[in-house]
């Protein structure tokens, strides 16, 4: 991730504008697959945390696992100016499983 022109540009923008950015990206994984990653860039332009989607969407003929690699764990929430923020990717584990402290999936108090 550290050499991606896309991420480097976002890091520069975050620093210049003193604004945190959460972005979804695809990152190379083993076996010619990709990780579906949520990446948190803080106001200092640093990649503070990232999360790789755990549960892939495999239903009927739709097989996300054909091209994507599942992540290994759920990370800790990120401390932000608005509170703690947890990272997720669409169609992942139920928000209530990932975040038992709050009914809101991405924010906990």
C-alpha–C-alpha distance, residues 38 and 63, integer Å = 20
This prediction has a pTM of 0.80
C-alpha–C-alpha distance, residues 94 and 20, integer Å = 25
Residue range 86-97, pLDDT digits in tens: 898 887 765 445
Q: DSSP letter string over 35-79?
A: EEEEEEE-TTS-EEEEEE--S--EETTEEGGGTB-----PPPPEE
The CATH superfamily label for domain 5-108 reads Carbon-nitrogen hydrolase (3.60.110.10)
Residue range 7-44, pLDDT digits in tens: 999 999 999 999 999 999 999 998 999 999 999 999 99
């Amino acid at each position: 991730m550290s050499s991606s022109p896309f991420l480097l540009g976002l890091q520069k923008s975050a620093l210049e504008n003193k604004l945190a950015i959460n972005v979804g990206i695809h990152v190379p994984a083993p076996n010619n697959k990709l990780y579906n990653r949520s990446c948190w860039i803080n106001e200092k332009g640093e990649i503070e945390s990232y999360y790789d989607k755990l549960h892939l969407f495999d239903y009927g003929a739709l097989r996300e696992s054909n091209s994507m690699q599942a992540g290994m764990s759920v990370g800790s929430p990120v401390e932000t100016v608005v509170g703690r923020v947890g990272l997720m990717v669409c169609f992942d584990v139920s928000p209530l499983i990932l975040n038992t402290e709050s009914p809101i999936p991405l924010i906990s108090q």
